[in-house]
């Protein structure tokens, strides 16, 4: 249980830093640490994401990064995709869903490494020659 709560903190930090809702860590935490079935973990993760995304976007709004209109349009017009995705998650066998999620995790890791490399290059280029960090 403490492990799951800790993963919650880590997921929140990742959400604030990298702009994702935290579900990418909630789902594995709920299945691996709390023993939920994949589809229940996914459903529960979705509920946990709501307050995180609300607080995160409120902070981002304060920093002037949030384009409210675009976010609203994307959110409201997502409904058809949401219903199809949820129906699919409930129709697919547990094993297929788990393997799919594992692939999602690996792809996310790949994206993060690429983004990390890019921002690292930018950061290192900004340091003057011989200058300390």
Tell which residue, 28, 36, 25, 43, has the closest CA to residue 89.
43
Cβ atoms of residues 109 and 25 within 8 Å: no
CB of 27 to another protein, least distance (A): 5
Each residue 94-133 as x (binds another protein by CB under 8 A) or -, in order, gives xx--xxxxxxxxxxxxxxxx-xxx-xx--x----------
CB of 31 to another protein, least distance (A): 7
Closer to another protein by CB, 28 or 130: give it: 28
∠ CA 37-39-40 to the nearest 5 degrees?
Answer: 65
In sequence order, what E strands does 2-95 have? none
Closer to another protein by CB, 103 or 129: give it: 103
Q: What is the DSSP letter of 41?
A: H
CB of 33 to another protein, least distance (A): 9
Encoded tokens for 130: 């011989």
| 55-74 positions binding another protein, by CB under 8 A | 55-57, 59-61, 63, 65-68, 70-74
């Amino acid at each position: 249980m403490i492990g799951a709560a800790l993963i919650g903190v880590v997921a929140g930090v990742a959400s604030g830093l990298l702009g994702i809702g935290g579900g990418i860590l909630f789902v594995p935490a709920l299945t691996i640490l709390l023993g939920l079935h994949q589809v229940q973990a996914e459903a529960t993760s979705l509920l946990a994401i709501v307050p995180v995304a609300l607080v995160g976007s409120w902070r981002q709004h304060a920093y002037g990064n949030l384009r409210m209109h675009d976010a609203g349009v994307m959110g409201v017009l997502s409904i058809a995709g949401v219903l199809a995705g949820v129906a699919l998650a409930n129709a697919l066998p547990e094993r297929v869903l788990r393997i799919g999620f594992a692939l999602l995790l690996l792809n996310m890791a790949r994206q993060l490494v690429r983004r990390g490399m890019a921002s690292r290059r930018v950061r290192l280029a900004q340091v003057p020659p011989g200058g300390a960090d």
